[in-house]
Amino acid sequence: MRALLLVALLAPLALGQPEVVDWLSVTIAPFEAPVRPLQQPVTAQVTTRASCLLADQGAGGQVQVQHAVKEKPAWATVLVSPATDVASVQGCSEGYLTFQATLTVTATDQAPAFAAAPIVVEATAGPADRQQVETAQVNLSAAYFAILDVQVSDPQIVMRPGSTHDAVVKVSNFGNGDTRVETLLVDAGEGLSVQLPPPVTLGSRQRGSADTSADLVVRILAADAAGVVNRVGVVNLRLTGSYATDPSEGVDDSAVSLLVSVRSLGGEGAQKLPGAPLGALVALAFASAARRALRP
C-alpha cells in the first residue's frame, strides 16, 4: 500500500515535470565577516534541494541527504550540521524537498590575514542506483590580529655628558599580516633627549614572509652639562603595531624602558652600567617589558 502511495505521488511529477527527475542542487550563503583566529566561530547556511524522484521506496518514500566537507584550509576547523537529514515525499508540493544545514568554521592563529580560501561542501541524495552528488564552494578569509614581541639586549646604559648612545630594540611580528611598527617616546629622564627610528613594516610568517623582525635604533643624547653627572634616568618607549594596509585593524602595544646613567668617565662613548643603586634596580624591574596580546 505504501509503495502504491509513493507511485501516486511521483507519477504526476514524472509526467508533468520531466525536468525534475533525479536532480540535486546545493548552495552556500556567503559568510558575513572574516573569521577571527582563536575566537568565536562564523557560520553560513547550506541549502540543498532534492528532487522527490530521488526517494527511496525501500525507506518508505523518504529522501535522505548527506552533507560532507570535501575541502577546507589547513588553518580551519569546519563542520556541517546536520550531516544527514531525511524528509518524506509527502511534503513534495513543488516537486522537490528543501534541506537546511549550518556550516561552522573556527580558525587557528596560523590563518593568514584576509587571504581567501575555499571551503567545499558535498551533498549526496538518492538510492544507490540513482544517487546524485553535487558540490558547492564558498570562500572565507581570516581577520587580522597583531602581536609584537620586543626585546632589548642591554637596557642598562652608561653615558658621558654630551655623548650619544644607540640602543638597539629588536621587534618581531607574530601577527598574521603585514604590520606597521611605530616607536613612540613616552618620557625621558632629565638631561636626556631621544631620536626615534622611522616606522617599519614587518611581514608575517603566516603569509610566507621572511622579513618578520627588525632592529630599531633609538639614539639617546645626554646633555653636556655638569648638572646631569651622576644622574640616573629612564627612557620609556611605546611600540605600536597595526595592519599595514588599514591601521584601524588590530592594534598591539609593547612597552620598553631603558635605564640611563650619566657619568664622567675616562673612556669614550657608552658602556654597560657596572653597578646600579637600589633605585635603579627598581626601575630595571620594568625594563624591556614586552606585552604580547591577541586583540580583535
Q: How many domains does the chain have?
A: 2
**What CATH number corresponds to the domain at position 21?**
2.60.40.10
pLDDT for the residue numbered 248: 86
> Is residue 124 in a domain?
yes
31-50 pLDDT tens trace: 999 999 999 999 999 999 99
- Mean pLDDT, rounded, for 246-261: 92
Nearest alpha carbon to residue 213 among 133, 279, 151: 151
User: C-alpha angle 249/258/269, rounded to 5°?
Assistant: 130
143: β partners: none
pLDDT for the residue numbered 59: 60
108-141 pLDDT tens trace: 999 999 999 999 999 999 998 889 999 999 999 9
**What pLDDT band is residue 265 in, cutting at 50, 70 and 90?**
low
> Is residue 292 in a domain?
no
Using the 3D structure, point to which of 124, 140, 156 is the last residue of a domain. 140
Q: Are residues 11 and 130 in the same domain?
A: yes
Its domain, for residue 14, covers: 2-140
172 pLDDT higher than 70: yes
223 pLDDT higher than 90: yes
Q: Are residues 132 and 153 in the same domain?
A: no
Q: Are residues 25 and 99 in the same domain?
A: yes
User: What percent of the chain stands above pLDDT 70?
Assistant: 82
66-94 pLDDT tens trace: 999 999 999 999 999 999 999 998 888 88
pLDDT for the residue numbered 270: 45
Q: How many CA atoms lie within 13 A of 7 on its CB side?
A: 4
Q: Are residues 116 and 164 in the same domain?
A: no
Largest distance between two CA atoms of the chain: 110
Q: Are residues 72 and 115 in the same domain?
A: yes
> Is residue 296 in a domain?
no
> Is residue 81 in a domain?
yes
> Is residue 76 in a domain?
yes
